[in-house]
Amino acid sequence: MAREASKGHKAAVTVLAWGVALLIFFPILWTFLTSFKTEGEAINSHPSFLFFEWTLENYETVNQRSDYLAHFWNSVVISVGSTVLGLIIAVPAAWSMAFVPGKRTKDILMWMLSTKMLPAVGVLVPIYLLARDAGLLDTKTGLVIVLTMVNLPIIVWMLYTYFKEIPGEILEAARMDGATLSSEILYVLTPMAVPGIASTLLLNVILAWNESFWTLNLTAASAAPLTAFIASYSSPEGLFYAKLSAASTMAIAPIMILGWFSQKQLVRGLTFGAVK
């Protein structure tokens, strides 16, 4: 009876929550709207919110002038490539720690996590020099390798927390029925593990897509993903608000849509399972 919140209370909460949410979302909305304005309209000292002449010319210009597609493709290759490579290394590791835990499993997990605590700037110089000497500077291959290693601990941890939830009795039952190790993995575990692997994939593509320390420091032009491409707008092109907005919208839209699907995994993945 006390829980029956009054209509009035609910209405007030709704108004307040929507107000705050729109305020937080506003910079993104504003960028989106500005991307459809002309340059003159974009810097109008009496900015118009919706009532301006909508145009698509900024998207055309950005695409033609700056190889947006090439950088977009770099982002896709680097984020998906590093995630898939990470999964190939991490799935067996997480599987074995979840189902055949040894005495040191916990220590290994904690140690993996500790490598994530190493600030990037502490290894900037060696990684830069190693990449340079291996001819991997400003290449997609180089960034795929670096981002795979950067995100590997998170991938292992996420998979581990998902695999942990698969009941071990199922495996025992399969073994009783004479399943071999390979058929156990293929027919029993894989179907149950797919949702966890998919979530891990999603979150790590997002993290790799937005990673901005290594992508900015290890690329110049040819392998630059969208993070570096947008950063090159800092001046003087950044003063062309409409084009900046169009480029920004295209850079964040794909990942934002993916992100909205992965809200729950986000909490779990980024807190290493400490909050579910």
Partner 1 sequence: MATQASRIAGRLMLSPAVLLLFLWMIVPLGMTIYFSFLRFNLLMPGTEEFTGFENYSYFFTDPAFWPALVNTLTLVLGVLVITVVGGIALAVLLDQPMWGQGIVRILVIAPFFVMPSVSALVWKNMLMNPVNGLFAALARALGLQPIDFFASAPLASITAIVAWQWLPFATLILFTAMQSLDREQMEAAEMDGAGPIWRFVHLTVPHLMRAMTVVVLIQTIFLLSVFAEILVTTNGGPGTASTTLTFLVYMQSMLQFDVGLGSAGGIVAVILANIVAIFLMRMIGKNLEA
Question: Which range touches partner 1 (CB under 8 A), out of 58-66, 124-132, 135-143, 190-198?
Answer: 124-132
The footprint of partner 1 on residues 127-186 (CB under 8 A) is 127-130, 149, 152-153, 156, 168, 172, 181
Give whichever of 140 and 225 is closer to partner 1, judged by the CB atom: 225
Instruction: Give the shortest CB-122-to-partner 1 separation in angstroms.
Output: 4
Contact call for residue 112 and partner 1 (CB under 8 A): yes
For residue 164, which amino acid is it? K
Report the candidate in 226, 245, 31 with the shortest Cα–Cα distance to residue 143. Answer: 226
Q: Is 190 helix (H, G, I), strand (E, B) or coil?
A: helix
Report 44-103 residues binding partner 1 (CB under 8 A): 45-47, 89-90, 92-93, 95-97, 99-100, 102
Q: What residues numbered 25-54 form the site for partner 1, per CB under 8 A?
A: 25, 27-28, 30-31, 34, 43, 45-47
Q: Which residue has the tokens 């590997």?
A: 152
- Min dist CB 245 to partner 1, Å, is 7
C-beta of 195 vs 238, nearer to partner 1 = 238
- Of 182, 206, 112, the C-alpha closest to 154 is 112
Q: In Å, what is the CA distance from 264 to each residue of 46, 86, 199? A: 41, 21, 9
- Its sign, for the CA torsion 246, 248, 251, 254, is negative
Count of chain residues binding partner 1 (CB under 8 A)? 102
Measured in whole angstroms, the distance separating CA 114 from the mean position of its chain's CA atoms is: 21
Q: Which amino acid is at 85?
A: L
Does the footprint of partner 1 cover residue 2 (CB under 8 A)? yes
